[in-house]
Chains A and B, each alone.
Chain A
């Protein structure tokens, strides 16, 4: 099981908003695939799958904020 983490986006950025999920629960992903977009401060950042597998769950839904380092979803 691997967690998809909201990555560090630079100094002074403590949170970001999940703008869009490219995948849904149950989808198969390959490591490096873009799984979601997070936005902060007029920038959109594409988050990649850290591992190959199935999306077990999505923890932060579209439109919700997450703190840097928090779990966006889980791949198994």
Chain B
């Protein structure tokens, strides 16, 4: 199975979402899967299970800090995207992976855990809480959408994210602190190196699970 890897650079959240939707249609029509890397200007996205209590300030106060707020059709509560966070969108035909949502999410988490291990960070997925954690702190968030068994959205990896922005929210509705690779390693991490490693591990993990 071929997966096309693309780097969209720093891109507006809405534009990236529209592009994802176009790719989903292409894949439904028989196109090739995509792995997309990008970063977004500061934005809070509110998923389908968003609850008001997850925003710790009013929308106006949040926007005054230069962060936009947007409702999106993905699972999960509130998530922050900002420069320094590597967003990975996975547009993939899950018909090739047993049509198993839980299995798909677990595979994404496994890629994330393996990725961090490559950089000397011991992270785990926690039963009952989606995402990837280092001790009690969350480092990677996950939220996916599925249309005709084609996935979209994906993961947000805090590489060099300005963590102070997370004080605006309860990330994913949880009382949890966020961390980043830069914080844990004590220095900013090269984004391209992280992208390259993610693509390698992702390719290995998903290819091995193909059923046809």
Contact = CB atoms under 8 A, between A and B. Distances in A.
Interface stretch (B7-15, B144-152, B158-166, B178-186): B144-152
A41 B105 contact: yes
Interface in B95-150: 98-105, 130, 142-148
A57 interface: no
A73 B147 CA distance: 19
Contacts of A42: 75-76, 105, 130, 142-144, 172
A19 interface: yes
Given A43-B75, A45-B146, A46-B147, A17 B102 contact: no
Interface residue tally on A, bucketed by range: 20 to 34
A40 to B, nearest CB: 7
A41 B99 contact: no
A19 B99 CA distance: 20
B144 A44 contact: yes
Contacts, number: 72
Contact of B101 (A9, A20, A34, A46): A9
B75 A44 contact: yes
A43 B147 contact: no
Interface string A1-28: 0000000111111000101100000000
Given A10-B101, A11-B103, A12-B102, A41 B75 contact: yes
B48 interface: yes
Of B74, B75, B98, B99, which is in contact with the most chain A CB atoms at under 10 Å from its CB? B75
Contacts of A13: 101-102
B157 to A, nearest CB: 16
Given A40-B75, A42-B75, A42-B105, A10 B146 contact: no
Given A37-B73, A44-B48, A10 B98 contact: yes
B103 A43 contact: no
A29 B135 CA distance: 48
Given A17-B49, A19-B48, A40 B101 contact: yes
What are the 6 closest A-B residue pairs judged by CB atoms, nearest first?
A10-B100, A19-B48, A42-B130, A42-B75, A44-B75, A39-B75
12 contacts: A8-B99, A9-B101, A17-B49, A19-B75, A39-B49, A40-B101, A41-B102, A41-B105, A42-B75, A42-B130, A44-B75, A46-B148
